Structure 1
Amino acid sequence: METELPHILTDKHGKRRDFSIPPGLIAPSVEQEMRSYANRVLVTPFQKLVAATKEPFVQAILDLGVPQMAFDRIVLVGDAAFIPRPHTAASTSKAAANAIAQINLGACIFFFLVKPWESNPSLSMARSAGKESNEVINEPESV
């Protein structure tokens, strides 16, 4: 699959960066593409915001999911287990739901919910994107 990320993460000096380009170092062609795109697709307030940004920066936003959530008596929840993209605004609610589920169900039951889910190969893509975690570990309807 072809991606634009290597092009976007190459700074104005031709240096390929791993995850970000600091303000003032975006390649002029990338900055122009960004500004043109903003003018084509964003609503006016956001177009003005982009236009007013003198030195934009780039930060790659990637999904991350851990392959294991339970370690003896310790369970990873929220951002420790899955880092969703920031625009989903789900990190705090995911951590709270995981914590409530753990408290309401008890660590033992939570462990039995997490362990089978971790080892299910059919959920590997969902696990890396963090999409299925709320369906597996969520706040119980009633206790």
Structure 2
Amino acid sequence: MLCVHKSTKPYVCSYCKSFHQTKMELEAHYAECKDYKEPKVQAMEVKEKVLEPPMPVEKMRFLLAILLKKISAPERLQELGFDKKLFDDVLVESIKNSGREPCTNSELTVGETVEEKRSDSPRMNSPKVVYGTVQARTSFH
């Protein structure tokens, strides 16, 4: 590769990496450069990526159960069915009671559900996690 500074060809095409003596020569090259005219197909393709939740779902459930138990009154926990229903159902009920709509799209993965709810939230850092459609359900006692 040629050295860009202090060389006879200091201008480089950022698409095909060819070197040129003057800026005018580089601009003329752009008119003929295949890579400049036809962007690479692989750059335009949308790659499907699977969103992973920020931590394992089981750990999230465990931490949410602890948080819910610490911040809720015992009467409220009993009303929600804590220790009697699956924790996911308790979360859905709690979310409905707070005036929000839980995510019910069964086509989304857990990571996509968390990300979708995060982006809807006015505060990006708020722990607004909804698991109405989690496949593997567990209950906490």
TM-score class, shorter-chain normalisation, is under 0.3
Max Rg structure: 2
Q: TM-score, normalization: structure 1? A: 0.26
The TM-score normalised by the length of structure 2 is 0.26
Higher strand share: 1
Higher helix share: 1
